[in-house]
């Protein structure tokens, strides 16, 4: 009966409402009470008619076309639900009220305030224990557009309710959300986080938390497909979420933890449908957030944060480290240790001395150690984590106790050693050096009986060596830190008597240096070098050194140590090689050691000095004479590589053992003689010739004199070279096809290079014993003493017919010969033994190469011409020939016209015309220079050249030319004045830039080459040849500035003398 009455009241209310928009205030005031009575009747009645009328009283207004009625009804329901029991809420859900509300939302087109009222009611209905989830599944699609709308309004009144309903729907029923809905939700949420982080739109803490929860639920949804757009939005979201938490002045732990949870879920997200590159990109983004935002923040703000936040960040970092199979985990581990993570971890234990923090810190350190050292290295820490102290000082006290027959204490000490060892590898010191050394010495002393009598664990041995060596290295730097000789004796005895493996260990750079400075442990250190060589040759793990900047280094550091005199690496290596050779050990060990030394000299050329000072020459001689390795092709190749590296980089003062290198040279010569019966040298023979070239090159510094004599006085070697040159010259024009890629061309190149270095060596080692004029005599092929020799006319044939590389080396050989001959004539003032016709034939070849494309060839030929022109014999008989020869005039005119042409100014001052300057200068220096020289260098030409001159483009050759023009009185006063001004500006620029360089052997570029590639070997020898310093010869860019300054000073002196006249 009550339900029927209420139904009548409802109908009456509806009629009054319809007739009078003002309604009946007296009735509406009782609506909440009426609604309460209505639901009470609905709950108690068993009559279907009454039940239907009661439901009609509730649902009817919801279906009204009048929006205001809907809103009022929703308000009534909302106010009622705020103060009723869960049973009454469950009743409305069971009677499908939620479906009506979802329908209102669908038809509302997201208009306020209908949507607001609906969402407030749905939020209360969602608290029902059952039934609502099924209705939410049906109505979920209506919430997505609503969320898009409310998310765009800052602090929208139902923003949080909408997010809550969306989260409940996805989390309770992950399959309800479609792919398109996920894409829309991700975009909406990403924008919310972006606007919140940028300050465009605020977000209350509960809204932030719910938004993070929705994202986590979406990631766990089967419809979340990791497309590139979604992954990009996800990356932006987690970045904005974390940064927003860091920027909030008052940190909300709950909000922070939800953001960290989203970060972890993003890192863990890796469905099968997602490609590997997208997964790597997403995880790299997470690691970058931790590296760029979380890590710097927590390191700086740890003293001010809540423990829950600190634990949350540590847990997130630990979660990443636990994914050890990922590429990002080791990278992140390196990032942490480079930020002194061990010290920070113990700082956390000091700030938050709780069991929860202690467990988290030690478990994380165990995972960190496991990644850094591999092979379950963190297990000792995990086993005793609950028993380890929280203070590093207490760790040292624990280490200093006697652990004999106490397995638990021994386990704790193993964990302590592991922590200290790993932190020290990355320069993260947990205690001062004095305390560390004292604790280690105490550990060694109190546990000496166990260490000396028992079997020491290899890992513990390595950790102990590293920590002790590092502490002693620090004590060496700080003389105020005392050390215990007894503890040192025990440890050294342990190293001498115990098998330990440095190649598979990790050790700090300073500790390694200290070890190799201890002569008392030379034997075990030699064994470690041999182990390293074996492991290196078998491609196993090399010694991994940690030092400055926490970089992993191996052979690089060993090479650096070998190059220094403050340790015994070089001495031990040489002694070990001699020992292996004398004992005729296994060939594999000898070859491995030789290759190791070759790699050292290749990485650090200065190591050659240390090896030579400690007798590497004697070691190589011993190898050749006492070991079967001398006949092994692999060993021979390795020794050749080692000797080549040493000879190309060693300083002359380090080559003190001439006798040993003489024996090696004789042995190599003996290996070369059998090959000399054939037409060409094999590859191994060419490598020997290359080493001979370097020995001869070193002899120019008065070292390896005896070895050099053995080379250039070798009759068999001279005979082979003469045969090669004769065969090559007989080819005529077809010689052009014999380049360095052919056997003929390759052998010819090495023969010419050996001849060049022989010429330079002879000049230094046996000065005055060779009559250089014999090289000009075509009828006399035999020298007074048998030696390596090539005559000038043969070199000219090679210059004319040879390939570009042959032309280059032949030009250097001819220049060296002409230079030595000029020296001899200037000293002895003797007459030339060759005819003018012979010299003219040489000059014909040289003139044709003045404008050759290779500047080195053209310069060498021009210098040869200038020296020949300066010989007295041509002054008398060759002047008329020069005056009538059009080639001379063509060379000079071509140079002058190009230098004076304004349009070619930039090109004319390039290297292309430098060689012709030497010819022009030589012609100007003749007692009677050709009359056409004044026609070529007339006033317009000289003025045009000066006009093109600038302080930045002037060269030493140009100054030389103008100085000789000045001497020959070709310049006018105004031209001299203009030149003085330009040269003063040039000199000022050179002094300002401080561009003076010395052309010394130390300045020769070190090139990394291998003797396997004979082409590289040949290129290097050419490089040495072209960089060598010769009398009055510009050595190229290395001396450009210095020579230019010298020429400028000479010009000023000459001009001042002319002015005095």
How many contiguous H segments (helices) and E segments (strands) does the chain have?
55, 3
Radius of gyration of the chain (CA): 46
Among the residues of 650-742, which ranges form H helices? 658-672, 683-699, 705-712, 715-729
Among the residues of 700-740, which ranges form H helices? 705-712, 715-729
DSSP line for 134-192: HHHHHHHHHHHHHHHHHHTSTT-TTHHHHHHHHHHHHHH-GGGS-HHHHHHHHHHHHHH
Q: Which two tokens stand for residue 2?
A: 């009550």
- Confidence at 541, pLDDT banded by 50, 70, 90: very low
d(CA 964, CA 937) in angstroms, rounded, equals 12
Judged against a pLDDT cut of 80, whether residue 1022 lies above it is answered with yes
Q: Is 60 exposed, middle or buried (0-12, 13-18, 19+ CB in 10 A)?
A: middle
Greater model confidence, 541 or 410: 410
pLDDT digits (tens, 9 = 90+) for 120-168: 888 888 888 788 888 888 888 888 888 888 888 877 888 888 999 999 9
Greater model confidence, 481 or 876: 481
d(CA 312, CA 321) in angstroms, rounded, equals 14
Lowest mean pLDDT among 12-26, 88-102, 243-257: 12-26
CA 514 to chain centre: 27
d(CA 746, CA 830) in angstroms, rounded, equals 38
- Please tell me what DSSP assigns to residue 82: T
pLDDT digits (tens, 9 = 90+) for 707-762: 999 999 888 888 888 888 888 888 888 888 777 778 888 999 999 999 999 999 99
Judged against a pLDDT cut of 80, whether residue 918 lies above it is answered with yes
Cα→Cα distances 785→699, 770, 1025, Å: 19, 8, 25
- Confidence at 26, pLDDT banded by 50, 70, 90: very low
- Confidence at 630, pLDDT banded by 50, 70, 90: low
CA angle 32, 37, 39 (to 5 degrees): 95
pLDDT digits (tens, 9 = 90+) for 233-256: 999 999 999 999 998 767 789 999
Q: Which two tokens stand for residue 908?
A: 């004319």
Lowest mean pLDDT among 87-96, 879-888, 941-950: 879-888
pLDDT digits (tens, 9 = 90+) for 954-978: 888 899 999 999 999 999 999 999 9
DSSP line for 562-582: HT-TTSSHHHHHHHHHHHHHH
Q: Which two tokens stand for residue 207?
A: 């809204």
Cis preceding-peptide flag for 113 (omega within 30 of 0) = yes
CA angle 414, 415, 421 (to 5 degrees): 90
Measured distance between the N- and C-terminal CA atoms of the chain, rounded to whole angstroms: 144
Say what the alpha-carbon torsion angle 899, 904, 905, 906 is, to the nearest 10 degrees: -120
What pLDDT sits at residue 476? 84
What pLDDT sits at residue 880? 55
Judged against a pLDDT cut of 90, whether residue 938 lies above it is answered with yes
pLDDT digits (tens, 9 = 90+) for 354-412: 999 999 999 999 999 999 988 788 999 999 999 999 999 999 999 999 887 788 999 99
Q: What are phi and psi of 427, to 5 degrees?
A: 55, 30
Judged against a pLDDT cut of 80, whether residue 884 lies above it is answered with no
What global pTM score does this model have?
0.78
Closest CA to 55 of 3, 1, 113, 127: 3
Q: What are phi and psi of 192, to 5 degrees?
A: -60, -45
Cα→Cα distances 857→697, 844, 863, 864, Å: 21, 15, 10, 11
d(CA 802, CA 729) in angstroms, rounded, equals 9
pLDDT, mean over the chain:
84
d(CA 1011, CA 1014) in angstroms, rounded, equals 6
- Confidence at 101, pLDDT banded by 50, 70, 90: confident
Check residue 631 and give left, alpha or beta (phi > 0: left; psi -120 to 50: alpha). alpha
What pLDDT sits at residue 629? 67
- Please tell me what DSSP assigns to residue 832: P
d(CA 720, CA 13) in angstroms, rounded, equals 128
**Which run of H or E residues covers position 1005?**
none
The whole-number average pLDDT for the span 983-1003 is 68
Percent of the chain at pLDDT above 70?
85
pLDDT digits (tens, 9 = 90+) for 798-819: 999 999 999 999 999 999 999 9
What pLDDT sits at residue 89? 83
Judged against a pLDDT cut of 50, whether residue 24 lies above it is answered with no
d(CA 450, CA 621) in angstroms, rounded, equals 46
d(CA 356, CA 340) in angstroms, rounded, equals 22
Judged against a pLDDT cut of 60, whether residue 334 lies above it is answered with yes
Judged against a pLDDT cut of 90, whether residue 319 lies above it is answered with yes
Closest CA to 946 of 910, 915, 900, 988: 900
Which among 21-25, 772-776, 1023-1027 has the top mean pLDDT? 1023-1027
Q: What are phi and psi of 611, to 5 degrees?
A: -65, -40
Would you kindly state where each structural domain of the chain is located, as residue ranges?
A: 177-302
Closest CA to 422 of 468, 375, 466: 466
What pLDDT sits at residue 810? 95
Q: Which two tokens stand for residue 1002?
A: 């130390």
Beta bridge partners of 853: none
Say what the alpha-carbon torsion angle 298, 300, 304, 309 is, to the nearest 10 degrees: 0
CA 974 to chain centre: 57
| Contact assessment for residue 555 and residue 536, using Cβ atoms and an 8 Å cutoff | yes
Residue with token string 């001042």: 1056
Beta bridge partners of 553: 545
What pLDDT sits at residue 587? 86
């Amino acid at each position: 009966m009550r339900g029927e009455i209420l139904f009548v009241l409802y109908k009456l209310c509806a009629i009054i409402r319809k007739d009078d928009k003002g309604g009946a205030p007296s009735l509406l005031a009782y609506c909440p009470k009426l609604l309460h009575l209505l639901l009470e009747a609905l709950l108690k009645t068993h009559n279907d008619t009454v039940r239907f009328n009661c439901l009609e009283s509730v649902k009817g207004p919801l279906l009204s076309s009048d929006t205001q009625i809907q809103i009022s009804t929703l308000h009534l329901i909302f106010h009622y639900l705020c103060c009723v029991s869960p049973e009454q809420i469950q009743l409305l859900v069971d009677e499908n009220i939620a479906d009506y509300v979802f329908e209102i939302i669908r038809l509302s087109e997201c208009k306020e305030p209908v949507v607001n009222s609906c969402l407030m009611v749905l939020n209360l209905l969602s608290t029902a224990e059952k039934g609502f989830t099924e209705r939410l599944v049906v109505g979920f699609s209506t919430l997505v557009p609503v969320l898009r709308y409310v998310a765009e309004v800052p602090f929208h009144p139902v923003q949080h309710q909408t997010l809550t309903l969306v989260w409940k729907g996805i989390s309770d029923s992950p399959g309800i959300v479609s792919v398109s809905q996920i894409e829309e939700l991700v975009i909406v949420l990403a924008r919310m986080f972006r606007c919140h982080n940028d300050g465009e739109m605020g977000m209350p803490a509960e809204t932030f938390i719910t938004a993070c929860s929705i994202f986590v639920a979406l990631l766990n949804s089967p419809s979340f497909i990791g497309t590139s757009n979604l992954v990009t939005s996800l990356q932006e979201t987690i970045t904005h979420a974390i940064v927003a938490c860091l920027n909030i002045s008052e940190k909300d732990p709950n909000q922070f933890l939800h953001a960290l949870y989203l970060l972890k879920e993003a890192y863990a997200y890796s469905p099968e449908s997602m490609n590997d590159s997208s997964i790597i990109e997403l995880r790299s983004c997470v690691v970058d957030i931790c590296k760029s935002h979380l890590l710097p923040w927590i390191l700086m703000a740890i003293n001010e944060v809540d423990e829950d936040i600190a634990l949350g960040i540590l847990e997130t970092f630990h979660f990443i480290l636990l994914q050890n199979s990922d590429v990002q985990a080791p990278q992140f581990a390196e990032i942490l240790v480079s930020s002194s993570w061990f010290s920070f971890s113990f700082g956390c234990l000091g700030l938050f001395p709780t069991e929860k923090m202690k467990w988290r810190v030690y478990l994380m350190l165990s995972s960190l150690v496991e990644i850094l050292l591999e092979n379950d290295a963190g297990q000792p820490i995990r086993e005793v984590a609950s028993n380890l102290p929280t203070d590093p000082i207490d760790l040292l006290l624990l280490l200093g106790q006697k652990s004999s027959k106490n397995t638990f204490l021994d386990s704790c000490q193993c964990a302590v050693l592991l922590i200290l060892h790993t932190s020290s590898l990355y320069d993260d010191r947990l205690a001062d050096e004095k305390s560390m050394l004292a604790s280690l010495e105490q550990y060694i002393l109190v546990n000496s009986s166990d260490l000396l009598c028992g079997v020491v664990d290899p890992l513990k041995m390595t950790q102990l060596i590293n920590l002790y060596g590092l502490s002693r290295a620090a004590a060496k730097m700080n003389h105020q830190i005392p050390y215990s000789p007894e503890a040192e004796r025990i440890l050294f005895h342990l190293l001498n008597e115990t098998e330990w493996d440095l190649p598979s260990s990790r050790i700090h750079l300073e500790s390694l240096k200290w070890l190799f400075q201890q002569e008392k442990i030379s034997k075990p250190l030699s064994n470690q070098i041999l182990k390293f060589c074996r492991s290196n040759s078998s491609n196993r793990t090399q010694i991994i050194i940690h030092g400055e900047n926490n970089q992993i280094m191996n052979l690089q550091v060993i090479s650096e140590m070998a190059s220094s005199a403050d340790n015994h690496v070089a001495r031990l290596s040489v002694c070990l090689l001699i020992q292996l050779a004398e004992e005729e050990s296994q060939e594999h060990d000898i070859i491995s050691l030789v290759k190791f030394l070759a790699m050292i000299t290749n990485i650090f050329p200065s190591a050659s000095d240390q090896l030579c000072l400690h007798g590497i020459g004697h070691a190589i001689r011993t190898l050749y004479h006492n070991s079967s390795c001398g006949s092994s092709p692999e060993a021979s190749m390795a020794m050749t590589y080692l000797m080549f590296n040493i000879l190309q980089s060693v300083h002359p003062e380090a080559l003190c053992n001439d006798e040993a290198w003489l024996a090696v040279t004789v042995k190599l010569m003996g290996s070369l003689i059998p090959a000399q019966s054939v037409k060409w040298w094999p590859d191994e023979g060419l490598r020997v010739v290359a080493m001979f070239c370097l020995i001869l090159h070193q002899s120019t510094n008065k070292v390896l004199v005896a070895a050099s004599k053995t080379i250039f006085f070798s009759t068999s070697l001279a005979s082979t070279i003469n045969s090669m040159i004769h065969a090559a010259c007989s080819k005529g024009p077809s010689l052009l096809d014999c380049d360095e890629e052919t056997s003929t061309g390759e052998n010819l190149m090495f023969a010419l290079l050996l001849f060049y270095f022989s010429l330079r060596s002879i000049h230094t080692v046996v000065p005055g014993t060779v009559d250089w004029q014999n090289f000009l005599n075509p009828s006399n092929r035999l020298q007074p003493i048998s030696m390596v020799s090539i005559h000038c006319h043969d070199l000219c044939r090679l210059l004319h017919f040879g390939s570009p590389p042959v032309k280059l080396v032949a030009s250097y050989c001819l220049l060296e010969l002409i230079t030595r001959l000029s020296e001899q004539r200037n000293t002895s003032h003797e007459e030339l033994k060759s005819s003018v016709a012979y010299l003219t034939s040489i000059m014909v070849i040289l003139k044709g190469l003045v404008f050759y494309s290779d500047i080195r060839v053209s310069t060498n030929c021009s210098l040869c011409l200038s020296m020949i022109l300066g010989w007295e014999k041509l002054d008398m008989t060759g002047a008329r020939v020069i005056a009538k020869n059009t080639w001379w005039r063509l060379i000079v005119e071509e140079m002058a016209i190009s230098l004076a042409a304004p349009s070619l100014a930039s090109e004319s001052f390039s290297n292309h015309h430098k060689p012709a300057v030497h010819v022009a200068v030589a012609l100007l220096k003749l007692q009677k220079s050709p009359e056409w020289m004044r026609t070529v260098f007339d006033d317009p030409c000289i003025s045009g050249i000066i006009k093109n001159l600038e302080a930045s483009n002037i060269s030493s050759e140009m100054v030389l030319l103008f100085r000789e023009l000045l001497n020959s009185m070709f310049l006018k006063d105004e031209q001299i004045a203009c030149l003085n001004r330009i040269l003063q500006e040039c000199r000022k620029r050179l002094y300002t830039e401080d561009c003076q360089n010395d052309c010394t052997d130390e300045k020769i570029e070190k090139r990394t080459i291998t003797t396997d590639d004979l082409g590289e070997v040949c290129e290097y020898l050419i490089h040495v040849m072209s960089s060598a310093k010769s009398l009055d010869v510009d050595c190229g860019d290395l001396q450009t500035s210095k020579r230019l300054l010298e020429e400028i000073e000479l010009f000023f002196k000459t001009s001042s003398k002319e002015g005095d006249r």
